[in-house]
Amino acid sequence: MADDLLNSYMSGPDEQGRFGIFGGRFVSETLMPLILDLQAEYEKAKTDPAFAAEMEDLQVNYVGRPSPLYKAERLTERLGGATVYFKREELNHTGSHKVNNVLGQILLARRMGKTRIIAETGAGQHGVATATVCARFGLKCVVYMGAHDVERQQPNVFRMRLLGAEVIAVRSGRGTLKDAMNDAMRDWVTNVHDTFYCIGTVAGPHPYPAMVRDFQSIIGRETRTQIMAAEGRLPDTIIAAIGGGSNAMGLFHPFLDDPSVRIIGVEAGGKGVDARMEHCASLSGGRPGVLHGNRTFLLQDDDGQILEGSSISAGLDYPGIGPEHAWLHDVGRAEYVAITDDEALAAFTLCCETEGIIPALEPCHALAHIAKIAPALPPEHLIVLNLSGRGDKDIFTVARHLGVEITA
């Protein structure tokens, strides 16, 4: 058993929260006691049947799991070649995969006696999920959101406020996800006595990257069961878009020790991965550094200053990536590519036209890469895309880029 763990891609992180040279816990002394308490509480919860039972009940009866694994027949026919399946996380309550993680973290917060929940959000999906679960349990909710993202994600801002959350527009930096996370961490340091920070991705200080991954891994576990029922075997390729990387890690992790399964993460290539740095492809165009409590690949200048990324997708507009993704890239278990804004927009239209599904711009990056590789593959090649969110939040952004004016 010990040898199996040593040879497994699923055994990390180590006791220090590291995946190889990535991850760790780079936080102030003020936060260390809270971080250690969270880690201890999570370790207890993992083996507590009552915690597991409450999670399962909420996943089934509140979130609506399991989410379907859907064979995209018209898309498959249009592309020619490989057979494409969608893991339909956009059908979850709140409209994305984010609620999987939020449920787990807020149940932990309640066990720890915390009454105030803070969160960062980019596209607003994590913010909506956090506001939703806080409303369900009667907890105070404060969501930090970059001012630029507030402007381009108005539907989700309104949803959060309807759900009783206070939405704080962050105007520092470029007003995107990085800046929202900076302000959320400042809040946390100031209010450690009653506040729980519900981080929305597989980043941050240990134990967050592993904890968020574990809560999101229900995606991959369900996919294994569903594809076996549909096809009698595992998929040949699994693919997901990556900002911080929680939806991707949720799909990838249960397949890491299956060498027959090709794993592809798709970063936001913005206006192109080149010297202009108008993208958010940390693995394709960045290098290792420390941000938000962990060591990972980051977009940074020669002096180590974090650069402002660029993406049409608010949810991928982050200059870093989760440390486990950085490690998987480093060891070669997963491959990472970049897709531009224009390619993602074309995939958005393709999905609408062929499948009658309006997807979020985030998974459209992964769909765009499928459109590149599927035609050259045989029909028996099975591809599973994590369709991580629905696109009603993005219709104003898409309309603007397509030159269409929407009036109330």
- The answer to whether residue 17 scores a pLDDT higher than 80 is yes
Q: What is the pLDDT of residues 189-221, one digit of tens each?
A: 999 999 999 999 999 999 999 999 999 999 999
Q: Given the residues 87, 98, 114, 393, select the one marked as catalytic.
A: 98
Supply the pLDDT for residue 2: 40
Q: Which residues pair with 405 in a beta bridge?
A: none
Please indicate whether residue 388 is annotated as part of the active site: yes
Is-contact 235 227, C-beta < 8 A?
Answer: yes
Q: What is the pLDDT of residue 276?
A: 65
Q: Distance between CA atoms of 169 and 184, rounded to whole angstroms?
A: 11
CATH 3.40.50.1100, the chain: domain bounds: 23-60+98-212, 65-95+217-401
Q: Tell me the per-residue pLDDT of 118-161, one tens digit each, with 9 for 90 and over.
A: 999 988 899 999 999 999 999 999 999 999 889 888 889 999 99
Closest-CA residue to 75 (of 375, 389, 391, 378): 375
Q: What is the Cα–Cα distance from 321 to 300, expressed in whole angstroms? A: 13
Q: Point out the catalytic residue in the list 120, 222, 324, 355.
A: 120
pLDDT of residue 279: 78
Q: For residues 192 and 372, what is the distance between their CA atoms, to the nearest angstrom?
A: 47
Question: What is residue 175's predicted lDDT score, i.e. its pLDDT?
Answer: 84
Radius of gyration of the chain (CA): 20
- Cβ(179)–Cβ(170) under 8 Å? yes
Catalytic residue among 278, 282, 388, 393: 388
**pLDDT for residue 275:** 60
pLDDT band per the 50, 70, 90 thresholds, residue 45: very high
Residue with tokens 């006696």: 113
Instruction: State the average pLDDT over residues 298-319.
Output: 84
Task: Please report the pLDDT score of residue 129 as a whole number.
Answer: 97
Topology of domain 23-60+98-212, CATH: Rossmann fold (3.40.50)
Task: Look at residue 5 and tell me whether its pLDDT is greater than 60.
Answer: no
Residue 277 has a pLDDT of 62
Options 3.40.50.1100, 3.40.1190.20, 3.40.1180.10, 3.30.70.20; CATH of 65-95+217-401:
3.40.50.1100
pLDDT at 6: 58
Q: pTM surpassing 0.85?
A: yes
CB-CB neighbours of 4 under 10 Å = 10
| 8 catalytically annotated | no
Which of 339, 341, 388 has the alpha carbon at shortest distance from 125? 388
Q: How confident is the model at residue 177 (pLDDT cuts 50, 70, 90)?
A: confident
Residue whose entry in the numeric block shows the structure tokens 């020790």? 257
- Provide the percentage of residues in the chain whose pLDDT is more than 70: 97
- At residue 304, the 3 state secondary structure works out as coil
Residue 178 is among the residues annotated as catalytic for this protein: no
pLDDT digits (tens, 9 = 90+) for 255-275: 999 999 999 999 999 887 766
Spatial CA neighbour of 242 closest among 180, 305, 318: 318
Mean pLDDT of the chain: 93
pLDDT band for position 3 (cuts 50, 70, 90): very low
pLDDT at 174: 81
pLDDT digits (tens, 9 = 90+) for 362-392: 999 999 999 999 999 999 999 999 999 999 9
